[in-house]
Amino acid sequence: MKGIKMSDVKMVILVREDLGMSPGKVAAQTAHAGLTWLAEKMGQGTALTPNQRKWLYGEPHVLRTTNCFGAMKKIVLSVKDYSQLKEYEDMAKQSGLIVNKIFDEGMRAYTCLAIGPNNEDEIDKLTKKLCLYDPLTKCDYNYIIFLYMLVGGMLLFATFCMWKALSGFWGI
């Protein structure tokens, strides 16, 4: 029987795009999602499975100089809305995976869903069609284009002013 390597264990956190959360809000919500399963385990007094132990602490034979924890591999993916979040929650539960859904009291909404830590292959079967979470998709691209044009215009103006200033000196 093949042993489970550290790279075989991960957690995936699904974030709702429709809520328009700021990057800081997303960071806080995904932190809640990443820790909820551990808090529940500690509260219940139940033992960690070998997968969970390896995800949390890493390989026992690896000397860690930076911290005492393992790699705790986490991937943040996007879902469109609550219905898609719920769909993945149901599929993960049917597959026997650990699931924790996070509800934000201030927003009065479910913000994200943590799946795992568990076997990477089992999680990938479920989430392989989802895209990585990208905070830039929350931005107005017209605004970004405007900023690039503004900066470009400022550079052009600065170049023109420099040319004018130097034209007398260089005789251009």
Transcribe 138-164 into DSSP letters: GS-HHHHHHHHHHHHHHHHHHHHHHHH
17 with 99, same domain: the answer is: yes
Query: Residue 52 falls within a domain, yes or no?
Result: yes
Does residue 144 register a pLDDT over 60?
no
Take residue 114 and report the two structure tokens written for it: 């943590």
Element (H, E) at 172: none
d(CA 129, CA 122): 14
131 with 56, same domain: the answer is: yes
84, amino acid identity: Q
97 with 60, same domain: the answer is: yes
The pLDDT value given to residue 87: 98
Domain boundaries, position 42: 6-137
d(CA 157, CA 172): 18
Average pLDDT across the chain, whole number: 77
Using one digit for the tens of pLDDT, what is the confidence trace for 67-102?
Answer: 444 567 888 999 999 999 999 999 999 999 999 999
User: What is the distance, to the nearest Å, from the Cα of residue 16 to the centroid of all Cα atoms in its chain?
Assistant: 11
Query: Residue 25 falls within a domain, yes or no?
Result: yes
132 with 149, same domain: the answer is: no
69 with 56, same domain: the answer is: yes
